[in-house]
Chain A
Amino acid sequence: MTENSQATRPLLEVRALTCERADRLLFRDLEFSLDNGQALQVKGGNGSGKTTLLRIICGLNDSFAGEMYTRGEALAANWDAFHSGLLYIGHRVAVNHVLTPLENLRWSCRLHDPADDDGIREALDQMDLAGYEDSPCYSLSAGQQQRVSLARLLLSSAELWILDEPFTTLDVDGVALLENLVARHASDGGAVLITTHHKLALPRLRALTLGMTR
Chain B
Amino acid sequence: MNSPGNGAINRSGNSAINRAGAGAAFLATLKRDLLISVKRRNDILNPFMFFIIVVSLFPIGISPESAMLRQIAAGVVWIAVLLASMLSMDSLYRSDYEDGSLEQLLLSAQPLYLLVFAKNIAHWLVSGLPVILASPLLAYMLALPAEGYATLVLSLLLGTPVVGMLGSIAVALTVGLGSRGLILAVITVPMSVPVLIFGTLAVQNALAGGSPAGYLALLGAMLAASVGLAPVATAAALRITLN
Contact = CB atoms under 8 A, between A and B. Distances in A.
Interface of A: 7, 36, 58-63, 80-86, 88, 90-99, 103, 106-108, 110-116, 119, 122-123, 126, 136, 154-155, 157-159, 181, 184-185, 188-190
B243 A63 contact: yes
Interface of B: 1-5, 7-11, 13-15, 17, 21, 24-25, 28-29, 31-32, 35-36, 39-40, 95-96, 98-101, 103-110, 115, 242-243
A97 B107 CA distance: 21
B95 A96 contact: yes
Nearest to B242: A60
Contacts of B108: 83, 111-112
Contacts of B36: 96, 98-99
Contacts, number: 134
Contact of A93 (B4, B5, B100, B115): B100
Given A84-B13, A103-B32, A157-B9, A110 B4 contact: no
B27 to A, nearest CB: 8
Contacts of B3: 119, 122
Contacts of A80: 17, 109
Nearest to A181: B5
Contacts of B101: 94, 96, 108
Given A81-B15, A103-B35, A154 B5 contact: yes
B5 A88 contact: no
A92 B96 CA distance: 10
| Most chain B CB within a 10 A radius of its CB, from A60, A84, A122 | A84
A72 to B, nearest CB: 14
B7 A190 contact: yes
Given A92-B100, A96-B99, A111-B28, A190 B9 contact: yes
Contact of B9 (A36, A60, A119): A36
A118 to B, nearest CB: 9
Given A63-B243, A84-B109, A98-B36, A159 B1 contact: no
B14 A111 contact: no
28 contacts: A36-B9, A60-B107, A62-B243, A80-B109, A82-B14, A83-B109, A84-B14, A84-B109, A90-B100, A91-B100, A94-B101, A94-B104, A97-B99, A99-B35, A103-B35, A108-B101, A111-B28, A111-B109, A114-B21, A114-B24, A123-B4, A155-B1, A157-B1, A157-B2, A157-B9, A184-B7, A185-B7, A190-B7
Nearest to B111: A80
Given A93-B99, A93-B100, A126 B242 contact: no
A106 B162 CA distance: 30
A94 B103 contact: yes
Contacts of A154: 4-5
Contacts of A122: 3-4
